Amino acid sequence: MGAMDDCRSLTDDDLARDLAFLAQRDRHCLGKLLAHLAEYDRRQLCVKRHGDSLFSYCVRILGYDEFDAYRRIRAARVAARFPESLALIEKSRLTLSAIVALHPYLTDENRGEWFALATGKSRKAIEALLAARFPQGARQDYLRSHPAPPVQVASSTPPQAVDVLPSGTETAGDASSSKTFAPAAAPSAEGPLPSRPHEWQAMVPISAERVRIGFDAALAVRSLIDRARQVLRHKYPEGRLEDVVKEALEVLLDRKDPQRRLGFKPAPVVRDAAPGEPRFLRALRAGRYVPARVKREVWRRDDGRCAWRFEDGTLCGSRDGLEYDHVRPYARGGRSDDARNVRLLCRAHNRLAAERAGLTLVSGRAAGSA
């Protein structure tokens, strides 16, 4: 049998146990791999045996793609300077992405501080800390049409690890402008914090109060932006993208954000229950619609997060795609006008709850819908 067939034959408990073991072994192997890669780099074996750079060796011989090769080379060189980082990786206190983010800023004097600050934090949280400590300068707005990608021609010179990343310069204004803006240099001799080619659409912090946002879009989006600038010119004479996008998002959230609009729609009028009326009939008469007062109470109680709890008792806590779910299904007499029977669930857990109840989820009621 193949590996997938082996996995499918496991019980849930065995699958969870094996996965935890493999993840732990993966972290241990990553630490050893970085140590080996650092020593391979120190001995310059890639040059002696292959006549190439370490980056080319990782791509051509070890089979990594360009970005994975870049990250491992950066992390291996951090490990060569600061061997204690390997133990932190093996103990899950630092991730590979965290090491790469810290790389340009680490020195013999601050390594202990930054390793302690980065312990247990995501890459985004670490980037926010770095941006607050080492803020970058602001850039001017620009909209630029991208030309068709050039035909790649094989080069006799092997690429270096840094070649994986963009140059960091961008043209401002239209395509005819020759003015460029380079990112501010980091306060380290090793250069600025690199961009991430696989996340051009990321929102990267550049200071404690500012982020840099970038994305590619269709020409139709550019037309919408130009028109929005024209419409808002009286309010924002400079026509800055930040102001236009903020105004558009405010209008969108006023219409769609449940925290802003839950109180807009009044609850339907429902007569008092007759004495001795069955629970199912009361629920049926109230309808599937969740009144605004119940939505507000549920939203406050669940803190605008998915209230699903896993087997170990931890909370899902997702804020994405939230829907109002009946704890006791509406089809089985669950009431919509009682906050105790309504909860917030993300789409995935709403489907799972329906499957466990033996029901078919036709269309969930989004938390922000009217």
For residue 207, pLDDT beyond 60: yes
Is residue 341 within 8 A of residue 334, CB to CB? The reply is: yes
Whether residues 7 and 59 fall in one domain: yes
pTM for the predicted model, two decimal places: 0.49
For 155-291, where are the alpha helices, taking DSSP H only?
A: 219-231, 241-256, 258-261, 279-286
76-80, 199-203, 285-289, 364-368, range with greatest mean pLDDT: 76-80
Confidence (pLDDT) at 241 = 87
pLDDT exceeds cutoff 50 at 172: no
Identify whether 344 is part of a domain.
yes
Highest mean pLDDT of the ranges 119-123, 149-153, 166-170, 182-186: 119-123
Is the domain of 211 the same as that of 109?
no
Whether residues 29 and 110 share a domain: the answer is yes
DSSP at 342: E
Mean pLDDT, rounded, of the chain: 74
Would you state the structure tokens that stand for residue 119, as one six-digit string? 């312990």
Q: Is 307 exposed, middle or buried (0-12, 13-18, 19+ CB in 10 A)?
A: buried
**Residue range 17-52, pLDDT digits in tens:** 888 888 888 888 888 999 999 998 888 887 777 666
Co-location of 251 and 342 in the same domain? no
Residue 27 shares a structural domain with residue 104: yes
Domain presence at residue 17: yes
Q: Are residues 347 and 290 in the same domain?
A: yes
Which range among 105-109, 127-131, 279-283, 326-330 shows the weakest confidence by mean pLDDT? 279-283
Judge if 33 and 92 occupy the same domain: yes
281 pLDDT higher than 70: no
Whether residue 171 is found in the same domain as residue 127: no
Question: What does the longest C-alpha to C-alpha distance in the chain come to?
Answer: 91
Asked if residues 297 and 341 have their Cβ atoms less than 8 Å apart, the reply is: no
In a domain, 358, yes or no: yes
Domain identity same for 127 and 46:
yes
Residue 267 is assigned to a structural domain of this protein: no
Same domain, 14 and 113: yes
> Quick check: is 94 in a domain?
yes
| Segment 213-264, tens digit of pLDDT | 877 788 888 889 888 888 888 788 888 888 889 999 988 888 888 777 665 5
What are the angstrom distances between the C-alpha of 63 and each of 18, 66, 67? 26, 9, 12
Q: pLDDT tens across 74-114, in order?
A: 999 999 999 998 888 888 888 888 888 898 888 999 988 99
206, part of any domain:
yes
Residue 111 lies in a domain: yes
Helix (H) or strand (E) holding 322: strand 322-326
Q: How far apart are CA 156 and CA 128, in angstroms?
A: 40
Number of domains the chain is built from: 3
Q: Are residues 307 and 361 in the same domain?
A: yes
Same-domain check for residues 99 and 203: no
Closest CA to 94 of 117, 64, 76: 117
Cα–Cα distance measured from residue 182 to residue 171, given in angstroms and rounded to the nearest whole number: 9
In-domain check, residue 146: no
Give me 21's structure tokens. Answer: 């073991």
Task: Supply the range of the domain harboring residue 339.
Answer: 279-366
| Strand-pair category, 203-205 with 211-213 | antiparallel
Q: How far apart are CA 56 and CA 362, in angstroms?
A: 52
Per-residue pLDDT band for 185 (boundaries 50, 70, 90) equals very low
Residue 339 phi, psi dihedral angles, 5° rounding: -60, -25
Q: In this model, does residue 66 exceed pLDDT 80?
A: yes
